[in-house]
Amino acid sequence: MPTVRYEKIYRELRGAIEAGAYPKELPTEQHLTEQFGCSRNTVRRAIGRLEEDGYVQSARGRGVFVLFEKPERTEFKFSDVESMKEAAERTHLDVTTKVVYFTELTVDEPTHSLTGLPQGEEIYYLRRVRFLGGEALILDHNYFLKSVARGLSPKIAEASVYEYMERVLKEKIVTTQRKYTVELAQPTDREYLDLGDYNCLVMVSSRTFNAKGVQFEFTQSRHRADRFAFYGQVRRRKPGK
């Protein structure tokens, strides 16, 4: 439960929007300030979050317009750093993970240039197949820095690596940089995933950093193309320049 005020206000407003309480626009910042008994700055931070998430759009001199419409996000929500387990809880689909390979190795030059992890470091390398609602959807190639994800085991990797790192190791996972591309399927992919009519899959390469700014993970997730969906909102910064 967030004790932070703007977070609380953000959640409350978001809930109200989803419930249809504000079909066209939000009350004025002045009004919300009184309603929540906080400063205008705090209300503005909450509205800023709503804008980031595509719920509203504010216009100087006019007000704050509501853009919301029920999103059918039955699939993933990748706009947050979300673990598979968390995604499952949100979507109410049962999720299972099968570790099909687990080893420890040292980062050599080719591995370094693939993963961005520092050469010479000890790492865990594992492959995992992710099932959602009984279907094999994702084949993961995970590279974890041993010095950060210390004590990782196949058993833990079948549950949740992030939960282990946060709960047991007290590590804080903060930023992920991702790259999405589409690749032709390899024999290894067909071995684990049912690709259907598609001859390719979505490859999501991610680098994740902890609170100290250290990249401790590189993951290449190979997704079944027909079940992949990604949603995003963007704001236009400057017209000409």
Residue ranges in contact with its own copies by CB under 8 A:
1-2, 25, 51, 54, 57, 59, 62, 65-67, 69, 78-81, 116, 166, 172-182, 184, 197-200, 202, 209, 211-213, 215, 225-226, 228-241
- Cα torsion 152, 121, 148, 172 to 10°: value is -130
Q: What minimum distance in Å lies between the beta carbon of 5 and DNA?
A: 3
Q: What minimum distance in Å lies between the beta carbon of 214 and its own copies?
A: 9
Contacts of 113 (CB under 8 A, 6+ apart): none
Are 77 and 87 in contact by the 8 Å Cβ rule? The answer is: yes
Phi, psi of 19 (to 5 degrees): -80, -5
Q: What minimum distance in Å lies between the beta carbon of 120 and DNA?
A: 23
- Is the torsion defined by CA of 159, 163, 165, 170 positive or negative? negative
Binding partner of residue 240 among its own copies, DNA, none, CB cut-off 5 to 8 Å per kind: its own copies
For the chain, the distance separating the N- and C-terminal CA atoms, rounded to the nearest angstrom, is 41
Binding partner of residue 28 among DNA, its own copies, none, CB cut-off 5 to 8 Å per kind: DNA
The nearer residue to its own copies, 175 or 188, going by C-beta atoms, is: 175
The nearer residue to DNA, 166 or 226, going by C-beta atoms, is: 166
Binding partner of residue 213 among its own copies, DNA, none, CB cut-off 5 to 8 Å per kind: its own copies
The nearer residue to DNA, 33 or 206, going by C-beta atoms, is: 33
The nearer residue to DNA, 174 or 182, going by C-beta atoms, is: 174
Binding partner of residue 79 among its own copies, DNA, none, CB cut-off 5 to 8 Å per kind: its own copies
Binding partner of residue 98 among DNA, its own copies, none, CB cut-off 5 to 8 Å per kind: none
Under DSSP, the state recorded for 197 is: T
Q: What minimum distance in Å lies between the beta carbon of 103 and its own copies?
A: 27
CA–CA gap between residue 211 and residue 214 (Å, rounded): 7
- Is the torsion defined by CA of 134, 138, 139, 142 positive or negative? negative
The nearer residue to DNA, 6 or 218, going by C-beta atoms, is: 6
Mapping DSSP to helix (H, G, I), strand (E, B) and coil, where does residue 188 land? helix
SS (H, E, C) 102-157: EEEEECCHHHHHHHCCCCCCEEEEEEEEEEECCEEEEEEEEEEECCCCCCCCHHHH
Binding partner of residue 23 among its own copies, DNA, none, CB cut-off 5 to 8 Å per kind: none
Phi, psi of 22 (to 5 degrees): -125, 80
Positions that interact with DNA (CB under 7 A): 4-7, 26, 28-30, 37-42, 44-45, 47, 58-64, 172, 211-212
CA–CA gap between residue 49 and residue 166 (Å, rounded): 25
Q: What minimum distance in Å lies between the beta carbon of 133 and DNA?
A: 35
Q: What minimum distance in Å lies between the beta carbon of 225 and its own copies?
A: 4
